[in-house]
């Protein structure tokens, strides 16, 4: 499994922005590197898990909902070994614990993000 450490969660006012980061241990020169994927899902108290976005190390990304698509941007930096989720125009509905996840291969496309097999401890976002 991949080691994942999230950071950046905080309390912000509605309309504000946050940048979540996830440091990972994925080795860039490994031949399996292009098969890797990472993502974010969130869970609010009393609510079901919700996929937020995923990114493929082979290129490309996918954001789950139209609302998130226009407000959230997922990216991955090979050099820093960090995946980020830039969020803007936050609303109280975005309040949740955000989890960084990772996996590889066909799972990247066939499974929900919250089913990816490596997961961080989560970081709290409160709006």
Q: What pLDDT does residue 6 have?
A: 96
Cβ partners under 8 Å of residue 6, min gap 6: 20, 21, 22, 98, 99, 100, 120, 121, 122, 123
Q: What pLDDT does residue 1 have?
A: 77
Q: What pLDDT does residue 14 have?
A: 98
Lowest mean pLDDT among 29-33, 70-74, 107-111: 29-33
pLDDT band at 67 (very low <50, low <70, confident <90, very high): confident
Q: What pLDDT does residue 82 have?
A: 95
Q: What pLDDT does residue 45 have?
A: 92
- The candidate with the shortest Cα–Cα distance to 23, out of 110, 126, 120, 113, is 120
pLDDT band at 26 (very low <50, low <70, confident <90, very high): confident
State the residue for tokens 């919700």: 50
Interval 103-122: pLDDT, tens = 999 999 888 999 999 999 99
**Cα(104)–Cα(107) distance, integer angstroms:** 6
- Segments of 48-92 assigned E as strands: 50-56, 61-63, 72-77, 82-87
């Amino acid at each position: 499994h991949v080691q994942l450490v999230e950071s950046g969660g905080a309390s912000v006012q509605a309309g504000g922005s946050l940048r979540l980061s996830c440091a990972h241990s994925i080795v860039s020169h490994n031949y399996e590197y292009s098969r890797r994927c990472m993502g974010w899902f969130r869970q609010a108290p009393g609510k079901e898990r919700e996929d937020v976005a995923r990114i493929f190390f082979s290129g490309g990304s996918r954001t789950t909902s139209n609302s998130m698509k226009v407000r959230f941007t997922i990216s991955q930096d090979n050099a820093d070994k960090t995946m980020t989720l830039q969020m803007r125009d936050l609303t109280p509905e975005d309040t949740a614990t955000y989890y960084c996840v990772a996996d590889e291969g066909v799972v990247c496309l066939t499974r929900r993000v919250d089913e990816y097999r490596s997961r961080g401890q989560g970081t709290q976002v409160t709006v």
